[in-house]
Structure 1
């Protein structure tokens, strides 16, 4: 199963992404994640959500191979809508969402963590938005919630990544620990929040979203429009084909 959801006795719901080999979610996977998160927030028994992943890394974004193996724009439109739904579900979840990140967090992964309320990471974690390499745009909205504006632009234009330890300095990642301590850290923070009156915490989440200076949903949707333009121009297909060919060659080595 790509997305698992488990409610603990203390009211902490653990949502796990598990899509081998790199947690690059298919169109259906993004919609499944959105559905699970929406259901978590709607369940009065859920007090906090911990969003984590199994496997090599947290999330590698959309499944490029699925997109390239689908004729027309159905996969592109599906990925756009699925990512929008998943990012929105994180942001609008009625309870706090703690992202526990290990390994790589790329593209759509940054969309998820950028909309989370708390981020913790393992010492091997790194973040980046390589969309320009694949002829797409998106998640700058969420990257801008992790680093200052000019650093965001540098990372975005170059498709470089940034280690989790650097994000601690910017205040966006709460703490970095060895990978085998990551789940314990996330669950400990979640339990601390879950011990509060859930009526107050749910009100606090809504209040904090209400005073947010950026409308993340509108901002991200604006970015997606440029991705569609690049696809209509044929630029995105060329770059995705190059990417898919490079990945295939790596697999044969």
Structure 2
């Protein structure tokens, strides 16, 4: 199962992504993340969500191979809609979302984490937005919630990554712990939130979103428009083929 959701007795709901080998989510996977978060927020027994992952890393973004295996623009449209739905579901979840990040968190992973309410990470975690390498744009909106503007631009233009420990100084990552302590670190914060009156916490989540200086849904949608332009130009398809090792001129696929 790619996405699982478990509600604990203490009101903490744990949503886990598990899509081997690298948690690069298919179109359906992104919609499943969105559905799990929407369900969590709608369930009044849920007081807080911990979003975590199994495997080598937290999230490697969109499944490029699925996109290159699909004719036309169906997979591109699906991935864009799925990512938008998932990021929006994190941001608009009626209860706080704590992201527990292990290993790599790149591309779409940054979209999830950047919209979370709290981030804890393992000491091997790192973040990046390598979209320019694949001829796409997106998640700058969310990286800008993790690092200052000039850092975001440098990371974006160069496709470099930044270790979780460097984000603690910006306050975007609460703490960095050994990997085997990550789940407990996330649960510590979750238990603090779950101990509060959930009616107040739900009101607080809505209130904080209401005073956010940036409309994350609108700004991400703006970025996606440029991704569509690059695809229509043929640039994105060429770069994705290079990344995935596909030679469409020879009828190859993966």
Q: When the two structures are superposed, what TM-score results if normalisation uses the length of structure 1?
A: 0.97
How far the C-alpha of 1:65 sits from its partner, in A, is 0.1
Residues paired across the two proteins, number: 246
Q: Which residue of 2 aligns with 1:7?
A: 7
CA offset at residue 106 of structure 1? 0.3
Q: What CA distance in whole angstroms lies between the structure 2 residues aligned with 1:239 and 1:141?
A: 22
1:105-124 matches, within 5 Å, as 105-124=105-124
RMSD: 0.6
d(CA) in 1 for partners of 2:37 and 2:51? 9
- The equivalent residue for 1:171 is 171
Gapped regions of structure 2 (runs ≥ 5): 247-254
| Runs of 5+ unmatched residues, structure 1 | 247-253
Residues 205-216 of structure 1: pairs in structure 2 closer than 5 A? 205-216=205-216
Q: Which residue does the alignment assign to 2:235?
A: 235
- 1:86-117: CA deviations, max 9, x gaps? 00000000000000000000000000000000
TM-superposed CA distance for 1:118, in Å, is: 0.1
2:204 equivalent in structure 1: 204
Q: Give TM-score scaled by structure 2 length.
A: 0.96
Deviation per residue, 1:167-189 (Å, 9 max, x gap): 00111000000000000000111
1:136 matches 2:136: yes
User: Match for residue 190 of structure 2?
Assistant: 190
- Aligned partners of 1:165 and 1:35: how far apart in 2? 31
- 1:37-73 deviation digits (Å, cap 9, x = unpaired): 0000000000000000000000000000000000000
The equivalent residue for 2:45 is 45
User: What residue in structure 2 maps to residue 249 of structure 1?
Assistant: none
Secondary structure (helix, strand or coil) at the match of 2:245 reads helix
Once the 2 structures are TM-superposed, how far is the Cα of residue 245 of structure 1 from its aligned partner?
Answer: 1.4
